[in-house]
Amino acid sequence: MSEQQWHLGPGTVPPSAPEEGGARLREGSRSDVPGPKCHCCSDISNKVNKVKYIVISAVLLLASCGQKQEAGEPQIIPQPAFLQRLEGSFEIGRKTPVFIDAGDSALLRTVGFLNGHLQKAAGFELQVSDDDPLRHGNEEGIFWLQAGSLPESYHLRITPDKVLVEYADGAGAFYALQTLLQLLPDAIFADSPQRGVRWLLPCCDIEDSPRFPYRGMHLDCCLHFFDIPFLKRYIDLMALHKVNRFHWHLTEDQGWRIEIKKYPLLTEKGQWRKETVVGSLHSGIYDGKPYGGFYSQEEVKDLVKYAAERYVTIIPEIEIPGHSLAAISCYPELSCGLEDHYETATKWGIFKQVYCPKEETFKFLEDVFDEVIELFPSELIHIGGDECPKASWKQCPHCQALIKKLGLKDEYELQSWFIQRMEKYINSKGRQIIGWDEILEGGLAPNARVMSWLGEEGGIKAAQQHHEVVMAPYPKYYLDYWQADPDSEPLAMGGPTLLRTMYDYNPVPAVLSPEEQKYIIGVEGCVWTEYMPTPARVEYMAWPRMCAIAESGWTKAEKDWDGFTRRLETHLGRLDRLDVGYCHAFWDPFIDFHKDTEYSKVVTMSVDAPGAEIRYTLDGSTPTASSPVYEGPFAVNRQQRVSAAAFRNGKQIGKLKYKDFR
C-alpha cells in the first residue's frame, strides 16, 4: 500500500463508510442483575462480621424516609444495575461525619476527592473519622464499609439520616463516590463556592457492578500532541464515567512521543516533523511549521500514578511493525534499507517504511519495551500491529530469505512471526500483548488479546479462537467521525456517527455462542487526532458520545434510548459545570437526505433531546412553534430548502439547521 493511500488505520476510514444502527431494546428489571439481592446473602469482607453488619443494616431500614422529598430524581450515567428511589433526602452539611476503616489509605484518598469537591463548591470539608464505623451505627453520617466480592462493585443505601456505602474493593469505593457525586446537585462540580445550594442526596437503594472489566478510552498523542495537564483532565472525565482503561497511543509515523533513555534520538529528532499537512492528506498544502512534543519518563510516572489513584490503568501503545517511520528516521538501520533518506511523516496516511525483522530491530524493540514495561505497571502492553504494508518486505532480500528459512507461506505469516517473537519477549517480562485485529493475519500469537477495530469480524474470529477481545469497531466507536451534519461541522475523518449509533451498538455479537461471548472483555472509544489539533477539539468530538460508550461498558440492563437521553440531558449540566466543551448537537435536528431521483431526494430528521419535536419549513423561512411538525420521511425537489429546529413546550431549543438539495 502506498503512502498516498488513506490512513485506514485504527485511526481512520474513508468518509464513505456507512453508518449502521442497532436494535432498540428495553430496560432490564432487577431480576436480571447478577449477584446478591439481599444483605443476608451477601459475601461480607473479613473486616465486617455478619452480626454487626445486620445490626447496622437494621438501623438504616428503621430510619424514617417519610420526610418531604427535596432532592431531584437520580439521573446517573452510566446507569446502575439496580436503583430504587425511596422517599426523602439526606443533607450533607458542615457537621456531617464520615466514618471509614482505620488504616485504609486508598479509601481515605477516595473520601478526600469528595472533600475536594465540597471544599470548592460548598466551602467546607467533612470530618473523617477512622474509628471503626460499626461502633457508630446509631449515629447520623456517612459510613464506608468493605463488603461483597464482585470486583469494582458497591452498594449505596441512603436514608434521611444515614448514607451506607458498601464497597468490594478500592475501585468499588471510588465508583460509589462517582455515583454519590452525580446524586448531588450538579453545583458540586463547580470550582467556586455556590450560594444557596442545599447539598441533598435523594434517598435510594443502589446495587451496582460493571458489565465488563475493560472499559476503555483511547487518545492518539502522535498526530497531535497534548500536554500532561490536559491528559489529567481527560482521565478525570473518564473516571467520572467509570471508565478504567486509558489506551495511550505514543508512537506513529508522524512523531515519537515517549522518552527512551537508551535511544535519545527518538525524542531529540523523532518527536519532530518539519511541517504538517493542512486539511486532508490529499490537499498538498503544508503549514511550514515544525511540530513536536514528547513525554519525559518523569512525566509518564506522574501520570501513571495520577491515573492509578482514580482506578484508571494506562495501557501504552508502541506500534510494530508498521507506523514506525518516526523511529526509522532516527535509526535507518531498523528499516529494510531500500531508500536513501527517511524522515518523520508530515501528512496522514499509511507509509511503506516499516521495521525490518532482523536482529538489530529486535534488539532495539526489546530495549524499548524494557523501558516501557518499567514505566507502566499495566498487565497489557499494546503493540499496534495494524496497517503494515508488505511492499518493503517483498523487495527486501533479508525478508525473503527469512521467509524461506522459517518455512513461511508469505509476508503475512512473516508479520505473525514478528508479533509472536515480540509476544514471547513481553510475556517473559510478565506482561501480555494486545493488538489491533490485523494481528490475526497469518495466525494469532498464542496469548494475544485482540482490539477489534475493523468492524466486528476480527473480534468474532478471535473470540471463537478463545482469545479475549476488546470491541472498538469503526465507525460505531470512532470519535473522530462527525457527530452532526458534516455541512455545518469542522473537518473530521468521516461519518457521521451519531450519538444514537454509539448508544444502540451492542458490543457482544449475537453470532457468538454463550461460551464465546465470555471472551468479549470490554469496549473502547477511539480518539484519533488528525483533525483534532487542540484539547478543545478533542473534548468536542469525544463528549457526549463517550457517555454512550461508557454506559455500554458498565451497564448490564438492556438499552433504553429514551431513558438514556433523559439522564444525559441532566448529565450535560454536570459537564457544563466542569467546563467540558462538548458538542451541543444533542438539541439540534439532524437532517438527512437520501437518494431518490435526479429531481428529488427523501428527507428524514431526528433529534436526541427527549420530548422534543422538530418543526420545519421548505421555503427558506425560519421555523416557528406554528410551523409543520416532522412526522416522517418526505420528498423535496431542487428548489426547496429544508430548515428545521427542535421545540419543546412551544420554545425552540438548540440551533436552526438547514440543508439544500445537492
Mean pLDDT of 588-606: 96
Q: What percent of the chain has pLDDT over 70?
A: 89
Mean pLDDT of 388-409: 97
Handedness of CA 321, 444, 317, 374 (dihedral sign): negative
**35-208: which CATH topology?**
Chitobiase; domain 2 (3.30.379)
Furthest-apart CA atoms within the chain: distance in Å = 82
Fill in the amino acid letter for 28: G
Fill in the amino acid letter for 26: R
Report the pLDDT value the prediction gives residue 445, as an integer from 0 to 100: 87
Report the pLDDT value the prediction gives residue 130, as an integer from 0 to 100: 84
Report the pLDDT value the prediction gives residue 70, as an integer from 0 to 100: 64
Kindly state the DSSP code that residue 46 receives in the 8-state scheme. T
Cβ neighbours around 67 below 10 Å, total: 12
Residue 641 pLDDT exceeds 50? yes
CB–CB of 258/316 below 8 Å? Answer: yes
Mean pLDDT of 93-105: 91
SS3 content of the chain, % helix, strand, coil (to 5): 30, 20, 45
Spatial separation of the C-alpha atoms in residues 362 and 358, rounded to whole Å: 6
In the block, cell 450538579 appears at 186
Give every CB contact of residue 126 below 8 A, 6+ residues apart in sequence.
92, 94, 96, 97, 98, 111, 114, 115, 118, 142
Cell, residue 156? 449505596
Report the pLDDT value the prediction gives residue 196, as an integer from 0 to 100: 93
Is 3.20.20.80 the CATH classification of the domain at 214-352+359-388+415-579?
yes
Residue 118 to residues 111, 121, 238, 307, Cα–Cα distance (Å): 11, 5, 20, 21
Report the pLDDT value the prediction gives residue 63, as an integer from 0 to 100: 40
3-state secondary structure 158-196: ECCCEEEEEECCHHHHHHHHHHHHHHCCHHHHCCCCCCC
- Ordered alpha helix ranges (H), 283-380: 297-308, 325-330, 359-375
The CATH 3.20.20.80 portion of the chain extends over 214-352+359-388+415-579
Residue 11 pLDDT exceeds 70? no
Confidence of residue 444 (pLDDT cuts 50, 70, 90): confident
CB–CB of 275/291 below 8 Å? Answer: yes
pTM over 0.95, yes/no: no
**Between 3.40.50, 2.60.40, 1.10.10, 3.30.70, what CATH number should domain 586-660 receive?**
2.60.40
Report the pLDDT value the prediction gives residue 27, as an integer from 0 to 100: 29
The CATH 3.30.379.10 portion of the chain extends over 35-208
In the block, cell 470519535 appears at 479
pLDDT 10s digits, 61-78: 434 333 343 678 999 999
Report the pLDDT value the prediction gives residue 393, as an integer from 0 to 100: 98
pLDDT 10s digits, 491-523: 999 999 999 999 999 999 999 999 999 999 999
Residue 4 pLDDT exceeds 80? no
In the block, cell 460493571 appears at 210
Q: What are phi and psi of 516, to 5 degrees?
A: -70, -35
